[in-house]
Amino acid sequence: MRETTVIRLKEDIRLENTTLLVGLPGVGHVGKLVVDHLIEKLDAEKVFEIYSPHFPPQVMVNEESTVKLVNNEIYVCKANGNDIVLLAGDHQSTSTEGHYELGTIYIDIAEELGVKRIFTLGGFPTGQLTHTDEVMGASNDLEMVTELKEYEVTFKPNEPGGGIVGASGLLLGLSMFKNIKAACLMGLTSGYLVDPKSAQALLALLSKILGIEVDVSELEERAKEMEKIVANLVEAKQQEQQQQQPEMLRDTATDEDLRYIG
Amino acid sequence: MRETTVIRLKEDIRLENTTLLVGLPGVGHVGKLVVDHLIEKLDAEKVFEIYSPHFPPQVMVNEESTVKLVNNEIYVCKANGNDIVLLAGDHQSTSTEGHYELGTIYIDIAEELGVKRIFTLGGFPTGQLTHTDEVMGASNDLEMVTELKEYEVTFKPNEPGGGIVGASGLLLGLSMFKNIKAACLMGLTSGYLVDPKSAQALLALLSKILGIEVDVSELEERAKEMEKIVANLVEAKQQEQQQQQPEMLRDTATDEDLRYIG
Amino acid sequence: MRETTVIRLKEDIRLENTTLLVGLPGVGHVGKLVVDHLIEKLDAEKVFEIYSPHFPPQVMVNEESTVKLVNNEIYVCKANGNDIVLLAGDHQSTSTEGHYELGTIYIDIAEELGVKRIFTLGGFPTGQLTHTDEVMGASNDLEMVTELKEYEVTFKPNEPGGGIVGASGLLLGLSMFKNIKAACLMGLTSGYLVDPKSAQALLALLSKILGIEVDVSELEERAKEMEKIVANLVEAKQQEQQQQQPEMLRDTATDEDLRYIG
Amino acid sequence: MRETTVIRLKEDIRLENTTLLVGLPGVGHVGKLVVDHLIEKLDAEKVFEIYSPHFPPQVMVNEESTVKLVNNEIYVCKANGNDIVLLAGDHQSTSTEGHYELGTIYIDIAEELGVKRIFTLGGFPTGQLTHTDEVMGASNDLEMVTELKEYEVTFKPNEPGGGIVGASGLLLGLSMFKNIKAACLMGLTSGYLVDPKSAQALLALLSKILGIEVDVSELEERAKEMEKIVANLVEAKQQEQQQQQPEMLRDTATDEDLRYIG
């Protein structure tokens, strides 16, 4: 395993009118939560495993205490008459050069599988713990921007200001060389915590776009647990402030602006 | 895109008595502001796009919410009878080795385009918010030092003391192997903020050297906006000091020495 | 030495029913202490030296003030009728890619030597200075989990939660591609200090599994010295807290929760 | 310049009974001060220039405001009937892998030039500002340890405890593969400042070993300047302590233990 290794689990993969959904770990794990959820609920079939020296030298431990070498995986499924390809994984590349190598591999596979449209899914950090269902977008194709605006995706000129970094951004860039249109959909999220509520909002949007229905009860459950954790954090923060204020006279942070958690 | 890729947009590029101007992101973005401004005002034509796994895995988002994979670009234009080549870009290399690879590519292209003289443009950090129109220089050629002194470029022995790091420095070094004379021109700037005022000073100098005239009203406008921001920072800093002084007895910082902003 | 270099010290190595023990530097140096101890006590023979540009550019200085270039080494010995291969070393790879390269080399050597079973040995950080003889496990093979439970190795679902990082984890993952079963055995340790006491516990377990007897008096001695150091740290910490409490009102740390030492 | 490039300035280099002295930047710049001084005083001739993408992408600016691409250089001279080869430079490799590549190149050149003995020169950080003429050693050859003890070089078992990192250490390790004996000589130095006084002590030792005489007046001058700077630092530190003590009750630092300067 000195080189990136693509293991093909199924020879004959026939797809039509195909959409690729990319959900790798990132801000709030929003994209990963959505794609992992879809793989389970749509009963998707694993067709590729990708191992690489650009992933951390690490195994994950599962429920049975057995291990799995960190990798990325590609799944396929059919939903509402359309073929969906899903890219999921434990990690993104640890190096800049590895990002380009893996991204090129993924776009080559997408092209081979006849992918016509890519959605890379992620989170957009707001620095605020208050939730909103808003999803922000950017695309490598102006028509796609227009189409997505009809689904109430927010587009702002030059935003995100720092560009889109990592696989979600890079795949938008690399797919241009293959004339595949692609958009990044980012659920708004605090940026401090894993955010199943933002994932739920992103999944709802995606379901509309793809015309599919997906059971979201598990994400809802996780979102409720997370809300309790956030409520506790907010309370703890407020108590800390009340104790510090008489001594410190620092600028007060409200429960909407908890920048220093996490 | 596993390797650095040079996309040539125009086959037949005929240039004479050519000067290369390099303006990549760096201290105060002074060099980038100057070259981006010249590309627009001189209506330069893009002739090369350079993509590389040594750039961050990132897309930039433009006004229409469409994206562009980070790259470097080479433009050409004619001004006052002379050919000018301009190297601009979103980022410099993220790795040491990438700097050498990209630098070698740029010098090879410069040689092929018949470049006789290179100016790499940058900023020199002073740590002070007071503006000066001073431009500091260093060159790979002693004659060029003499010539530039006539344009009131400042040259100091062994300065900058830490050498010149990044593309602005490296291209001076690499061009020696091709016998192309090159100088680095650094506008003095605080080092904390994007500095259109320093860019204006550098552009004025460059216009004299190249014998060209360039409309600088946009840079002036941006400089005025920036001045307001700086004025606010200075005021905020002074207020903070007045509040802290009775308690802390720290060494006082004046509005001329705001080392800890940014 | 531009490439990883494997120096074979013995041509004809005949082994049977072989177990590989891996003890490289890591958390509490638990794994390294065990394997270095076994190499000495079982009088193991060095059969491979591995040098690599992925190790730090460094020599170690020994008792005679002579030096040794940092490397990894493979030893063999026979104990209780079984062949044991031991992988020891001064350092792990400094880069992600190097980890994969070296790991692949080690698994290739293991396969060639007829290794049937691998134990990678390490420490699991608890954040607590109180000692326990507990050893935690994870494996690439479900049968091995069942077998090791009989030796009172602790297995917890999805634990360690962050996976197992470094050679101890990676070798579990890479050996799957060669169908070699492997387990990681982690002695519980504070995570702040070199821990010969945890090494002793891990060695006792390993002796039972391998059916061998090993003199542990030296490890015991080192453990006693370490206990004195820990006792002093705890005392110093308590005194510091007593001095700070009236002023600070910080949350109190007990002698069982010394998270900020080290 | 995508690869490390060795430029040979002289074809026919005939040397006998040759010693290589290595003085690259490092702790207190002790080794670099010694070798740069010897190159000047012994009027050594430059015979190799080494450029590499493993050096920083940087030019140094000299007295005339012209620049030089950072590199390493090899000089030769004759002193007291013996040939001396000197390795000097602006920087060490920025990457681990680059250290091994450059180190291998240097040892290959040493072998070709008939080098029989290598001294890598450096500083050993004590954390104390009080000066001592002590020089510490380590070698890849036990006989060399014995020989150097006669020159009052200090050898301590297993010291430096962390080994010797960087070119000074690595060249000791790599030269073993070519059967060239080598020692590292480390002048004791605070570790906070460039230390011409430690360089003077190291040069005095080296002059005895090589049986040469070198004018050290310039190093003495620089040492005196440095002493003034140190004295000012000590005084400033003491004043700061006197002001802080009534408020802070921190542990007092003496002028012999100025760990936080630099």
Residues C239-261: tens digit of each pLDDT: 877 765 544 333 333 333 333 33
Chain A residue whose CA is closest to B247: A248
Instruction: Give the pLDDT score at D243.
Output: 67
Helix (H, G, I), strand (E, B) or coil at C218: helix
Closest CA to D196 of D209, D208, D187, D184: D187
3-state secondary structure of A51: strand
Q: Across the interface, do B69 and A166 touch by the CB < 8 Å criterion? A: no
Joined tokens for residue B120: 């790499």
Rounded CA gap, B73 and B106, in Å? 10
* D64 close to B142: Cβ distance less than 8 angstroms: yes
Measured CA to CA, the distance from residue A148 to residue A146 in angstroms comes to: 6
pLDDT at D238: 81
Tokens 């002059």 correspond to: D207
Lowest mean pLDDT, pick from A176-180, B145-149, B240-244 = B240-244
Q: Is the pLDDT of residue B250 over 50?
A: no
ipTM of this model? Answer: 0.89
B67 beta partners: B61
Residues D50-104: pLDDT tens digits? Answer: 999 999 999 999 999 999 999 999 999 999 888 999 999 999 999 999 999 999 9
pLDDT at site D244: 57
Q: According to the model, what pLDDT value does residue A229 have?
A: 85
* Cβ A46 vs Cβ A143: under 8 Å: no
pLDDT grade for B231, boundaries at 50, 70 and 90: confident
**Helix/strand/coil for C5:** strand
Is a pLDDT exceeding 60 seen at residue D217?
yes
Q: A interface mutation test: which of C172, C175, C249 has the most A CBs within 10 A?
A: C172
Say which range, A109-113, A154-158, C35-39, C228-232, has the weakest mean pLDDT: C228-232
Identify the residue among D2, D5, D58 best suited for mutation to test binding to B, counting B beta carbons within 10 A and taking the highest.
Answer: D58
**Contact check, Cβ <8 Å, A67/C169:** yes
A195-232 per-position pLDDT tens digit: 999 999 999 999 999 999 999 998 999 989 888 888 88
Cβ–Cβ gap B57/A141 under 8 Å:
no
| Residue D98 structure tokens | 């680059």
What are the beta bridge partners of residue A184? A120, A138
Nearest to C105 by CA among C51, C163, C56, C179: C51
For residue C137, the surrounding DSSP H or E stretch is: strand C135-139
Share of chain B above pLDDT 90, in %: 79
Residue with tokens 């905020």: B236
Buried b / exposed e across A35-65, counting CB within 10 Å, b at 16+?
bbbbbebbebeebbbbbbbbbbbbbbbeeeb
Q: D111 exposed, middle or buried (CB, 10 Å; 0-12, 13-18, 19+)?
A: middle
- Which of B3, B92, B149, B170 is the best substitution to test chain D (most D C-beta atoms within 10 A)? B170
* Residue A258 pLDDT greater than 90, yes or no: no
Q: Structural domain boundaries of chain B?
A: 5-216, 226-261
Closest chain B CA to residue A175: B69
Location of structure tokens 């003085």: D23
Nearest-by-Cβ selection for B65 from A156, A167, A176 = A156
Is A20 in contact with A87 (CB distance < 8 Å)?
Answer: yes
Cβ(D105)–Cβ(D50) below 8 Å: yes
Give D31→chain B minimum CA distance, Å: 19
CA distance A14 to chain B (A): 26
CATH class of A5-216: alpha beta
- Provide the pLDDT confidence category of residue B229 given band limits of 50, 70 and 90: confident
Pick the residue from chain C with its C-alpha nearest to A67.
C140
Residue C219 tokens, joined:
């490890």
* Set of chain C residues whose Cβ sits within 8 Å of the Cβ of A59: 138, 140, 163-164, 169-170, 172-173
- Residue bearing the bigger pLDDT, C36 or D192: C36
Question: Does the pLDDT value for residue D122 go beyond 90?
Answer: yes
CB contact under 8 A, A58 and C170: yes
Alpha helices in D86-183 (DSSP H): 96-112, 142-149, 167-175
Mean pLDDT of B64-87: 96
User: Given C141, C156, C167, which is nearest A66 (Cβ)?
Assistant: C141
Whether residues C58 and D159 touch (CB distance < 8 A) is answered with no
Instruction: Give chain C's contact residues with D (Cβ, < 8 Å).
Output: 1-2, 53-70, 90, 94-95
State the SS3 of chain C.
Answer: CCCCEEEECCCCCCCCCEEEEEECCCHHHHHHHHHHHHHHHCCCEEEEEEECCCCCCEEEECCCCEEEECCEEEEEEEECCEEEEEEEECCCCCCHHHHHHHHHHHHHHHHHCCEEEEEEEEEEECCCCCCCCCEEEEECCHHHHHHHHCCCCECCCCCCCCCEECHHHHHHHHHHHHCCEEEEEEEEECCCCCCHHHHHHHHHHHHHHHCCCCCCHHHHHHHHHHHHHHHHHHHHHHHHHHHHHHHHCCCCCCCCCCCCCC
- B71: closest CA among B1, B174, B165, B11? B1
User: What residues of D are in the C interface, CB distance below 8 Å?
Assistant: 93, 96-97, 99-101, 103-104, 137-142, 145, 155-161, 163-167, 169-170, 172-174, 176-177, 184
pLDDT reported for residue A130: 86
| Distance of residue C135 Cα from the nearest chain A Cα, in angstroms | 14
Smallest CA–CA separation between A75 and chain B, in Å?
24
What is the least distance, in Å, from the CA of B195 to any CA of chain D? 23
pLDDT of residue D249: 38
Query: Is the pLDDT score of B106 beyond 90?
Result: yes
- Give the chains touching D; criterion: ≥3 Cβ pairs < 8 Å: B, C
Q: State whether B57 and A93 contact (CB < 8 Å).
A: yes
In chain D, the residue whose alpha carbon lies closest to the alpha carbon of B139 is D66
Angle of helix D217-248 relative to helix D30-41, nearest 10 degrees? 160
Looking at the partner chain, which of C139, C167, C174 has a beta carbon nearest the beta carbon of A66?
C139
Q: Cβ of C173 and A54 within 8 Å?
A: no
Q: What is the mean pLDDT of chain C?
A: 91
The answer to whether residue A53 scores a pLDDT higher than 90 is: yes
Query: SS3 for D122?
Result: strand
Per-residue pLDDT, averaged over B215-238, amounts to 87
How far is A87 from A93, CA to CA, in rounded Å? 14
Alpha carbon A41 to its chain centroid, in Å, reads 17
What are C161-211's pLDDT values in tens digits? Answer: 999 999 999 999 999 999 999 999 999 999 999 999 999 999 999 999 999
Q: How far apart are CA C135 and CA C120, in angstroms?
A: 12
Count of other CB atoms within 10 angstroms of residue B130: 12
Q: What is the pLDDT of residue B243?
A: 67
Chain A residues whose CB is inside 8 A of the B236 CB are: none
A partners (3+ CB pairs within 8 A) are: B, C
Beta bridge partners of C123: C187
Considering chain B, what is the average pLDDT of its residues? Answer: 91
Chain B residues whose CB is inside 8 A of the D102 CB are none
CB D100 within 8 A of CB D171: no
Strand ranges in A9-99 using DSSP code E only, listed in sequence order: 18-23, 45-51, 58-61, 67-69, 72-79, 82-89
Instruction: Please write the tens of the pLDDT for every residue from D102-117.
Output: 999 999 999 999 999 9
Asked if the Cβ–Cβ distance from C61 to D137 is below 8 Å, we say no
Chains D and A touch (3+ CB pairs under 8 A): no
The pLDDT score that the predictor gives to residue A150 is 97
Q: Six-digit token pair at D155?
A: 């050898």
Give the pLDDT band (50/70/90) at residue A243. low
The size of the C-D interface in CB pairs under 8 A is 93
Nearest to C165 among A54, A56, A63 (CB): A56
Helix ranges (DSSP H) in B125-216: 142-149, 167-176, 196-210
Q: How far is CA B106 from CA A145, B88, B168, in A?
A: 35, 11, 12
Residue length of chain C:
262
Question: What does the pLDDT read at residue C244?
Answer: 57
DSSP symbol at B65: S
DSSP state of A25: S
Give me the amino acid identity at A87: L
Q: Do chains C and D touch (3 or more CB pairs under 8 A)?
A: yes
All residues of chain A having their beta carbon less than 8 Å from the beta carbon of residue C141 are: 66
Q: Is the separation of the CB atoms in C195 and C189 below 8 Å?
A: yes
Instruction: Determine how many CB atoms are found less than 10 A away from the CB of residue C80.
Output: 10
Cα nearest neighbour of C98 on chain A: A53
Q: Is the per-residue pLDDT at B240 higher than 80?
A: no
Within 8 A by CB and 6+ apart from B247, the residues are none
In DSSP terms, B20 is beta-bridged to: B85, B118
Q: Would you place residue D234 in the very low, low, confident or very high pLDDT band (cuts 50, 70, 90)? A: confident
Q: Which of A174, A155, A1, A172 is nearest to A71 (CA)?
A: A1
* Cβ within 8 Å, pair D66-B157: no
Give the best-scoring range by mean pLDDT among A40-49, A246-255, B10-19. Answer: A40-49
Burial profile C218-238: b = 16 or more Cβ within 10 angstroms, e = fewer? ebeebbeebeeebeebbeebe
**pLDDT over 80 at C45, yes or no:** yes
Q: For residues C163 and C179, is the Cβ–Cβ distance under 8 A? A: no
* Rounded (5°) CA angle C229-C234-C236: 95
Residue A71: closest C-alpha in chain C: C173
Q: Please give the pLDDT value at position D254.
A: 37
Q: What are chain B's partners, defined as 3 or more CB pairs within 8 angstroms?
A: A, D
Mean pLDDT of A134-147: 98
- Mind telling me how many Å the CA of C174 is from chain D's nearest CA? 23
Q: How many CB atoms lie within 10 A of CB C125?
A: 16
The tokens describing A35, both together, are: 């794609």
For residue B97, the chain D residue with the least C-alpha distance is D53
- Using only C-alpha atoms, chain D has a radius of gyration, in whole angstroms, of 20
| Chain A residues within 8 angstroms (CB to CB) of chain B | 93, 96-97, 99-101, 103-104, 137-142, 145, 155-161, 163-167, 169-170, 172-174, 176-177, 184
Can you tell me the mean pLDDT for C9-32? 95
> What tokens appear for D71 in the block?
């590199």
User: Considering only alpha carbons, which residue of chain B is nearest residue A138?
Assistant: B65
Residues of A in contact with B68 (CB under 8 A): 173
Minimum distance, in Å, between the CA of residue C40 and any CA atom of chain D: 19
Q: Per residue in C76-128, pLDDT tens? A: 999 988 899 999 999 999 999 999 999 999 999 999 999 999 999 999 999 98
Nearest CA in chain A to B71: A173
Beta bridge partners of D125: D189
DSSP labels, A178-202: GT-EEEEEEEEE-SSS--HHHHHHH
* CB D120, CB D168: distance < 8 Å: yes
Interface of A with C (CB under 8 A): 1-2, 53-70, 90, 94-95, 243
Report whether pLDDT(D256) > 50. no
Give the gap in angstroms from C-alpha C90 to the nearest C-alpha of chain D.
Answer: 11
In terms of Cα–Cα distance, which of C121, C113, C119 is closest to C47?
A: C113
